[in-house]
Amino acid sequence: MESHTHILLLPYPVQGHINPMLQFSKRLASKGLRVTFVTTTSVRNSIQANASSSINFETISDGSEEVQDVETTYQTLERFKSKVSQSLAKLIERHNSTKCPPKFVVYDSFLPWALGVARQHGLDGAPFFTQPCVVNAIYYHAYQEAIQMPLEEGSSISLPSMPSLGINDMPSFLHDTGSYPDVLKLVVNQFSNLQDVNWLLCNTFDKLEDEVVNWMASHWPIKAIGPTIPSIYLDKQLEDDKEYGLNLFKPNMDTCMKWLDTKEVGSVVYTSFGSLAALGEEQMKEITWGLKNSNCNFLWVVRESEVIKLPKNFLHETTEKGLVVSWCPQLEVLDHKAIGCFMTHCGWNSTLEALSLGVPMVAMPQWTDQPTNAKFIVDVWKVGVRIELNERGIATKEEIELCIREVIEGKRGKEMKRNSLKWKKLAKEAMDKGGSSDKNTDEFVAKLAHS
Ligand code: UDP
């Protein structure tokens, strides 16, 4: 029988925010809710035909179809807010006159104004935080003005329920306040209108961030519901889609998997810097040599827009040992037995995916929450090493080679692998029936069904 509890989910339209909300949508549908995943025009064409039959997709305008000139970040955010507020209101009005009107909107925490739109139309709402709880807590302290910004060079920051953090462990926007003032406002304002919400959903799991989850829970009704990766990767017995279902980039599917099949167990360094980070040309050259000199096999994702930064002829010269692709099915890759470690920018999804699949990491954070994630990867979860930058902020080929070797063949690498497998087990337990994240999700579904 079709469920009468209808819920809308509204992601922020970048890959790292779409993936977790899409997977959470499927989870809600599997628990009996009727789910409409609301995408905006800029990503409409990327929904895969086989995305998921368990949820409905609807597209609303974000005004991007009318944009002619290059926009500043401020203009993009303002346009998005103004257009999506209007088109979301229209979508809700349309659904409100059907037999199964929506009751609730789960919106990306970067879009706090969506709560106002929902409430004006008689719906309730909750933010979905796509970054780890520790980073949310840091932004909350910044919102409370308990952190002096910009952070001072050499300072160390002590906040409740987390280790002491150096300036290079903090989210980049808090010290590099001049470069992205609008994004800084965005992340701090996630807490601007949450006085009376009943839920803050967060893509993490209790045991992974126990102290900070508890601290946040004493201030906010925060619930960890992750890791939001397809169940099939956590439990081979379960049926689920192998992909999230909405790729903004086209993966070189067969090429990657066939190439990995030819490699020995644990012999490949998978390297990716996610969907947004843009590295300098000098840095790309150092990575090239670091990978080559490590003498390991490597699979490196270099997005089309970044290929121009690769050393001349490198693509043609790539040997049997190395494969460069413009995008890959990352979950399937991380799950492949040939993968020995993941050299990563430490985006939160990549971090959670590696933890959940038991893959140790070489951390090379770039910006936003990534430095904090790297700190936890190394010092708290003990599943990786962090590449130290030289005085000019470059990760040199020698340092890259050293770190890769340490994780793939070193004594500490073995320890990291053991720890990774421990986190993999705990991630599975959290999502298993009755596990902490599963219980939180059940509670959410039950409350909605009875409201
Ligand atoms: N991803 C992918 N193929 C790639 C690189 C990344 O499917 O070649 C996915 C990855 O699995 C993750 C997301 O893109 O779910 C990237 O999110 P993350 O938070 O790691 O980084 P961001 O792109 O937001 O910096």
Q: Given the DSSP bridges, would you call strands 222-224 and 200-202 parallel, antiparallel or unpaired?
A: parallel
Ligand 1 centroid, distance to 191 Cα (angstroms)? 25
**Tens of pLDDT, residues 196-255:** 899 999 999 999 999 999 999 999 999 999 999 999 999 888 888 888 988 899 888 889
What is the rounded average pLDDT for all residues in the chain?
Answer: 94
Q: Which residues partner with 157 through β-bridges? A: 165
Task: State which amino acid sits at residue 169.
Answer: D
Nearest CA to ligand 1 atom 5: 274
- Name the CA radius of gyration of the chain, rounded: 21
Ligand 1 centroid, distance to 272 Cα (angstroms)? 8
Q: Encoding tokens for residue 291?
A: 């990978």
Nearest CA to ligand 1 atom 2: 330
pLDDT above 70 (res 49) = no
Domain coordinates in residue numbering, the chain: 6-245+433-449, 250-427
pLDDT above 90 (res 390) = yes
Ligand 1 centroid, distance to 93 Cα (angstroms)? 34
pLDDT confidence of residue 252: 85
Query: Distance between CA atoms of 270 and 329, rounded to whole angstroms?
Result: 12
ipTM: 0.99
pLDDT above 60 (res 1) = no
At residue 2 the predicted structure's pLDDT band, cuts being 50, 70 and 90, is: low
pLDDT above 90 (res 112) = yes
pLDDT above 60 (res 440) = yes
Query: Distance between CA atoms of 163 and 219, rounded to whole angstroms?
Result: 19
**84 close to ligand 1 (CB < 6 Angstrom):** no
**Which regions of 119-161 does DSSP assign to beta strands (E)?**
124-129, 156-157
Fold of 250-427: Rossmann fold (3.40.50)
Ligand 1 centroid, distance to 77 Cα (angstroms)? 22
Lowest mean pLDDT: which of 2-11, 68-77, 95-104, 332-341?
Answer: 2-11
Nearest CA to ligand 1 atom 15: 349
Ligand 1 centroid, distance to 13 Cα (angstroms)? 13
Instruction: Let me know: does 100 contact 6? Beta carbons within 8 Å.
Output: yes
Candidate from 203, 257, 301, 349 with most ligand 1 atoms within 8 A of CB, to mutate = 349
At residue 315 the predicted structure's pLDDT band, cuts being 50, 70 and 90, is: confident
Atom of ligand 1 nearest to the CA of 272: 5
Nearest CA to ligand 1 atom 9: 330
The residue among 333, 209, 314, 312 whose CA lies nearest residue 269 is 333
Atom of ligand 1 nearest to the CA of 370: 25
**349 close to ligand 1 (CB < 6 Angstrom):** yes
Atom of ligand 1 nearest to the CA of 20: 15
Q: Which residues partner with 299 through β-bridges? A: 270, 323
At residue 370 the predicted structure's pLDDT band, cuts being 50, 70 and 90, is: very high
Share of the chain above pLDDT 90, in %: 84
Please, is 261 exposed, middle or buried when counting C-beta atoms within 10 Å of its C-beta (0-12, 13-18, 19+)?
exposed
pLDDT above 80 (res 100) = yes
Instruction: Let me know: does 36 contact 58? Beta carbons within 8 Å.
Output: yes
Ligand 1 centroid, distance to 223 Cα (angstroms)? 23
Share of the chain above pLDDT 70, in %: 98
**361 close to ligand 1 (CB < 6 Angstrom):** no
Q: Given the DSSP bridges, would you call strands 200-202 and 6-10 parallel, antiparallel or unpaired?
A: unpaired
Q: Given the DSSP bridges, would you call strands 200-202 and 361-363 parallel, antiparallel or unpaired?
A: unpaired
**Tens of pLDDT, residues 3-17:** 789 999 999 999 999
Ligand 1 centroid, distance to 327 Cα (angstroms)? 9
pLDDT confidence of residue 234: 94
At residue 446 the predicted structure's pLDDT band, cuts being 50, 70 and 90, is: very high
- Look at 248 and 384; give whichever has higher pLDDT: 384
User: What value does the mean pLDDT take over residues 26-39?
Assistant: 95
CA-to-CA separations, 36 to 246, 265, 359, 406, in angstroms, rounded: 14, 41, 33, 46
Same fold, 6-245+433-449 and 250-427: yes
Please, is 143 exposed, middle or buried when counting C-beta atoms within 10 Å of its C-beta (0-12, 13-18, 19+)?
middle
CATH number of 6-245+433-449: 3.40.50.2000
- Look at 237 and 126; give whichever has higher pLDDT: 126
**275 close to ligand 1 (CB < 6 Angstrom):** yes
**130 close to ligand 1 (CB < 6 Angstrom):** no
**353 close to ligand 1 (CB < 6 Angstrom):** yes
Atom of ligand 1 nearest to the CA of 301: 8
**347 close to ligand 1 (CB < 6 Angstrom):** yes
**271 close to ligand 1 (CB < 6 Angstrom):** no
- Look at 126 and 319; give whichever has higher pLDDT: 126
Candidate from 243, 275, 335, 346 with most ligand 1 atoms within 8 A of CB, to mutate = 275
pLDDT confidence of residue 50: 63
Give the phi and the psi of residue 212 in degrees, each rounded to 5.
Answer: -75, -30
Quick check: is 108 catalytic? yes
Query: Distance between CA atoms of 365 and 343, rounded to whole angstroms?
Result: 10
pLDDT above 90 (res 33) = yes
pLDDT confidence of residue 51: 65
Please work out, in degrees rounded to the nearest 5, the angle formed at the alpha carbon of residue 171 by the alpha carbons of 169 and 174: 110
**Tens of pLDDT, residues 178-207:** 899 999 999 999 999 998 899 999 999 999
pLDDT confidence of residue 397: 98
pLDDT confidence of residue 308: 95
When mean pLDDT is compared over 48-52, 149-153, 181-185, the highest value belongs to 181-185
Annotated catalytic residue within 6, 62, 95, 108: 108
Neighbouring C-beta atoms of residue 257, cutoff 10 Å: 16
What is the longest distance spanned by two Cα atoms in the chain? 64
